[in-house]
Structure 1
């Protein structure tokens, strides 16, 4: 009889293999052995107080807190499904993703209710769901004083329901099984993947609502890496403080977070965090400027990653050249470039398959990314298919323009979107974040682009902004950029932040 791959094994490893590792959250320190017991007690509370059992659905509105971490284990251990809702959405989107017709319990964290920015939407969503007869519970009041007997589950039981970020279109949702989660965590545990090991201290700044914080809580259970949870305060000052105080060795966040943290420390002239070895980043292309900042200001290396909700997030890693390549695929995943002859470096649409690719259970999943694979199997993502710009019948790859613009000394971040053109159909426009204390010279930028790309790739307009708009999961929001800049006026030299 085969042993099913369920989250129960991860809890067992916490208690019996890595009992001395710890989770740190809001001043609380809990050894993994005690965390395992607390998870079982929370499962007991969910079952005895709220009747949660196999087949039920639980939604949670909370930051990366201890209670949220426990829910990510306790709910699936009962055979129920957990949906972590994105706190950065408006209340209507929260309600829609909770699926009020099928949610049995909504758990709300106190930090989310009290938060100045997201609190109003959280309270409104909770009130609307309660009005539809859904029980609302406080995250801090779930645990029971006694344990409960957990059901024997099959590995194909649904553990989580994930939602895509909707960066390029309407959000989609996928059901993810215990087997999916365990196999993905195993693939991430390799030395050339996350590289985590016992003795590491991991700070997952990626929200748990985003594919379980890239799966890091489960990788930690397998490897014995301790977890440092940030809670609600994600200001650069707080992040920098945690990196030092908790001697974090590996931290994970999107590039925009690392840019802000590095800028904060550079302004203070503070020494790099003493223990930080590496930052894991992804969700969008990593500008060379961010790689350099992390090295110079944080004293750490960068491992960039490519992945999607449909592949359970992180699917490749690249450390040698993180601003150019996305790296090699993790174990158990296979990839091909559709539409090319198989020659290394030839571009086409990236397709993947593997046992935890939930986008297509029956074959190759079309990612929608324009990519290539080199002779060593390393992935380079050139653009999202929806972000390609077709000008006069010729393709312009916005991601390549963005990366090159960020190599100019006056530019710290860039995004390129299409603007409708009566003659060429579409033309590129660039939206830039200047480096601190630098002025952006449009003539220099045009020459900088023309040095590498054909003349028709040079953007028709350059606009400076204080920061690029981000989606709720920290990716550059190109839909918002198109709405604001593709049809609007270009900033003039007299406009604050404009080009000169």
Structure 2
């Protein structure tokens, strides 16, 4: 039997797509540095890296290599090299709180961690990255380091990335893994209801998902495309697009962690990018930068993919009018390996049709069957790369989405089964915010609901009940600072409204439906009172 493993992607890079390239664009003291590597050369580096990691650090079958880096050449090479050894890649989400990030980095304990100095120097994420390094040093985990950082004071032991590539050129490589059910990646959810869940993803699942992504009903990428994936690699391998490029021969552009709109627009123009992928917030900012003359218009952009949250009609129009491209939306979850549907006709209304190998159904139990049009219910999916399935007898995964499927098989998402907020493509767990607000001595009850935002799509609004009748005149700023001490900046509520009591349902639960319906009015009243 021919095993479905990552090794096949490298074979195609070496033998089928010699004209394709990986372009690394970095910002250094002297300015922008652009490095170009032909696919066969990247494939060669990947095999050398695998040999170097194995011979120098003893990493092999069943081991784990964590990665703390942005979308870089080294991160991409690690995504391919580590699975060759039968080991698994654990790409870490540096946007998590330090506590959760450390837990993600050490569970399971890695045999090595690849760290890029760019992450440590980042003005927002650098502190979290350094906190992780401290935990890794205490756990005596060796590092594979990228950059000229002063690593001796930051690591128990370390080896430089390029030294491993050089070492791998002179050492024999171990036999590539031949069991397609071997774990290749560890994927993590966004922690929507607490700590993130983790899933093991096999070589077989990865290859089948990549094949599905390469079809015309999915990404439709070909060797003539030049692709800029801006979704972080820690989000399900950048929505699977980098590995789809390896399979199809689409050239891959990697620009690290600086996602400033002017810089992204310049990269798209200068590198003749044909397809790019990012959350709606990024496209909002890029369109604004181009429309106001702060950034150049693209020269070859054909399509932008967006996901992570609904794409507003205003963003779709701006992409069409300002960037001259169409919008393709994709829906998916960590458990479905990201993009599981694509929609290009009505990207603000429909989530699209399932990609090949994915099946969907709606569980109508408990929902109204008399309404006109498609009946809403709980969305369930199955397929050879759907992970986290609890019912092994049917292989159906309950997504937690309330959705409907029309006569043409198009998916429409109506709501989340649980009360979550997605801001700029990132989840915000309202239950955690509510619980933490209630730990403040002035607060006796709290509820958090989403409000619409032109840029971030959704932002949190907090309703609170205070202990005393007299409210502190600066209660909003006090509580926002209090939340900021515990959670990432984008979790901080944009508005905090004080109520005498929270509305309750007949069974005594907080009536969030009512709070959502009155949120716009409450914010307007609050703004007028402060004016």
Match of 2:281 in 1: 256
Given that residues 265 and 296 in structure 2 are in contact (C-alpha distance below 8 angstroms), is that contact kept between their aligned partners in structure 1? no
Shift of 1:152: 3.6
Q: What CA deviation, in whole Å up to 9, does each residue of 1:319-365 have, x standing for no partner?
A: 00000000000000110000266996110000001100002172210
> What pairs up with 1:83-232 in 2 under 5 angstroms?
83-99=90-106, 102-139=109-146, 140-141=161-162, 142-143=164-165, 144=167, 145-146=169-170, 148-232=173-257
* CA distance 1:136–1:430, change in 2 (3 Å): closer
Match of 2:2 in 1: 3
Distance 1:210 1:104 in 2: 22
Match of 2:363 in 1: 338
Instruction: Determine if the alignment matches structure 1 residue 352 to structure 2 residue 359.
Output: no
Instruction: Determine if the alignment matches structure 1 residue 50 to structure 2 residue 57.
Output: yes
Q: Determine which of 369, 372, 377 is the counterpart of 2:409.
A: 377
Shift of 1:149: 3.4
Instruction: Specify the SS of the correspondent of 2:82.
Output: helix
Pairwise CA RMSD:
3.1
Distance 1:487 1:379 in 2: 38
Equivalences, count:
430
Shift of 1:303: 0.3
Distance 2:383 2:450 in 1: 37
* CA distance 1:348–1:485, change in 2 (3 Å): farther
Shift of 1:195: 1.1
Instruction: Specify the SS of the correspondent of 2:284.
Output: helix
Distance 2:95 2:299 in 1: 32
Q: What CA deviation, in whole Å up to 9, does each residue of 1:257-285 have, x standing for no partner?
A: 11111111112176630100000011111
Match of 1:273 in 2: 298
Q: What CA deviation, in whole Å up to 9, does each residue of 1:60-107 have, x standing for no partner?
A: 100000000000000000000110001222322221001255211111
Match of 1:39 in 2: 46
Match of 1:15 in 2: 14
Q: Determine which of 230, 254, 265 is the counterpart of 1:240.
A: 265
Distance 2:384 2:179 in 1: 16
Distance 2:333 2:343 in 1: 16
Instruction: Determine if the alignment matches structure 1 residue 295 to structure 2 residue 315.
Output: no
Shift of 1:10: 0.4
Distance 1:376 1:189 in 2: 22
Shift of 1:307: 0.1
Instruction: Specify the SS of the correspondent of 1:386.
Output: coil
Given that residues 284 and 476 in structure 1 are in contact (C-alpha distance below 8 angstroms), is that contact kept between their aligned partners in structure 2? no
* CA distance 1:484–1:205, change in 2 (3 Å): same
Higher deviation after alignment, 90-99 or 287-296 = 90-99
Distance 1:130 1:476 in 2: 27
Instruction: Specify the SS of the correspondent of 2:292.
Output: helix
Structure 2, unmatched stretches of 5+, are 26-33, 147-160, 435-445, 456-475, 477-487, 500-518
Q: Determine which of 333, 336, 346 is the counterpart of 1:311.
A: 336
Match of 2:460 in 1: none
Structure 1, unmatched stretches of 5+, are 389-397, 403-414, 421-425, 436-462, 464-474
* CA distance 1:7–1:476, change in 2 (3 Å): farther
* CA distance 1:172–1:189, change in 2 (3 Å): same
